[in-house]
Amino acid sequence: MEPGRYAQWLLEQETRALLSRLARVRPFALQETRVPAASPSYAAQEAIEAFLVRGRRELREQARRFLAWIASPEGHAAPPDRAHRRYVFLRLRFNAVLSQFDIFSEAMSQRSVCETGIWLAGLDAVARDALDLPGYLVPPPVICYLARGPGGAIRRARTRLPGGGENPVAMIRLPRERMIGSGLASSLVHEVGHQGAALLGLVESLRTAIGEAARRPGREGFAWRTWGRWLPEIVADLWAIARVGIVSTLGLIGVVSLPRAFVFRANLDDPHPMPWMRVRLSAALGEALYPHPQWGRVLAVWDSFYPRPGLDAVHAAFLDLLEETLPRLVEVLVRHRPPLLRGRTLAEAMGTEGRQPARLLATFKGWRAAPVRMRGAPPALAFAVIGQARADGILGPEEEGKILAGLLRYWALKCALRGSAICARSMEIAGVPGVA
């Protein structure tokens, strides 16, 4: 076989092998073993599988077009480098499809782990509730998974995935070290806040709100520009405080309790506020939304962990500048009325009056008298109530863990049964045989 024809034959063989390997990539529903209660929501499973099936179908069509081309007179006449270039791009697309499969595989595979999978399904329910703002946004499906490390992360829905395509679900990565305590809600709802802020355009509208102050010359303008760089994380913290109250701040302290040099480190290229100031801002937002002496107690403890004396003059001056502008920033955040909330603040849209510390404690005492009543509470509210009781010393960490593990199992089972009923009704409507 002459060299040019051999090159074409070799590329044809490799493309057929690629198609053969692609055929072995099966839907998660055909390969993951898990109890029904550990399953992601029906909406999340459907969105993920539809996205991956679409990617495989498009790749298969591209491969078949390439095979047809290479067998055509035009392909026979093409120089080997041109044919090889087309194959290389085809193989890159194949690897992108596999990479996207792996992105979701990590989250889906954890559902097969005994107990952990059920807890994750329960956390999906918490995330959906924390994101829900009826009348203001349409929440995407959410799926949670665990990873090592102290903090969380989110791959937001409707953002571009590696290799192309729009992410069909919000994927929230949670720190394994927090399973299970109320502090888990701090990381979870903070990441939910990133998704909610994107759907409502909160960061963009707030940047407009502080734009004039950020354009001022001198020290004050510099402080506002610094806050502006940190806005995405600040808004996510605000969302978490509005949903779960002091649980958010105490959980944040657990994440950012690092060696002193890191806590006072001011890296303006980092989107996260410097830890020392971030905790102070969190407590100030909590005081603004839920006035109570607890915020002063938390700040006193934080200051005792990381006293300011001993800082160099530059760091001390920077902190003074931020603290001078912090009250005004809090005012802007809690009074801001973004266009998509139609004249309401975020706190008003979320109904934070029902999460005042006294009401949370009263709710917990009612649950102590009738524990079954806690199952009827929205999941995010349940975390806020239990976290408030823990913060006030009414509930110990051992009992807290048992209660939350039980609630996560209950929410997972409830969602699984609801999903089964929805599937059954859908099949009945569609006339699927064997469905009563």
Asked if 236 and 253 sit in the same domain, the reply is yes
Same-domain status, 301 and 367:
no
- Is 269 found in the same domain as 334? yes
Tell whether 213 is covered by a domain: yes
Helix axes 218-229, 313-335, angle to 10 degrees: 70
Looking at residue 423, its pLDDT comes to 46
The whole-angstrom separation of Cα 402 and Cα 182 is 11
Q: 192 and 339 share a domain?
A: yes
Q: Within this chain, do residues 299 and 392 fall inside the same structural domain, yes or no?
A: no
Look at residue 248 and tell me if it is in a domain.
yes
Q: Say if 128 falls within a structural domain.
A: no
Contacting residues for 244 by C-beta, under 8 A, at least 6 apart: 130, 182, 185, 186, 189, 355, 380, 383, 384, 387
Single out the residue in 104, 119, 142 at which a domain terminates.
Answer: 104
Strand partners, 155: 171
pLDDT at 430: 39
pLDDT digits (tens, 9 = 90+) for 285-317: 999 999 999 999 999 999 999 999 989 998 899
Decide if 58 is inside a domain.
yes
Q: Is residue 364 part of a domain?
A: yes
Report the number of distinct structural domains present in the chain.
3
For residue 341, what pLDDT is reported? 93
Q: Tell me whether residue 162 is in a domain.
A: no
The residue among 77, 104, 131 that closes a domain is 104
pLDDT value, residue 129: 95
Q: How far apart are CA 394 and CA 194, in angstroms?
A: 32
Q: Domain range spanning residue 414?
A: 354-397+404-421
Q: What is the pTM of this model?
A: 0.89
Note whether 212 and 245 are same-domain residues. Answer: yes
- Bridge partners, residue 153, by sequence: 173
User: Is 141 contained in some domain?
Assistant: no
DSSP string, 127-178: HHHHH--TTT--PPPEEEEEESSSS-EEE-TTSBPTTSSB--SEEEEEEGGG
144 occurs within a structural domain? no
Q: Are residue 252 and residue 344 in the same domain, yes or no?
A: yes
Residues 243 and 371 in one domain: no
- Are 221 and 271 in a shared domain? yes
Could you tell me the CA-to-CA distances from 149 to 50, 98, 153, 170, 255 in Å, in that order? 31, 26, 10, 20, 9
Last residue of a domain, one of 70, 104, 138: 104
Those residues of the chain that have pLDDT short of 70 are: 1, 3, 419-436
Query: Mind listing the pLDDT tens digit for each residue in 232-248?
Result: 999 999 999 999 999 99
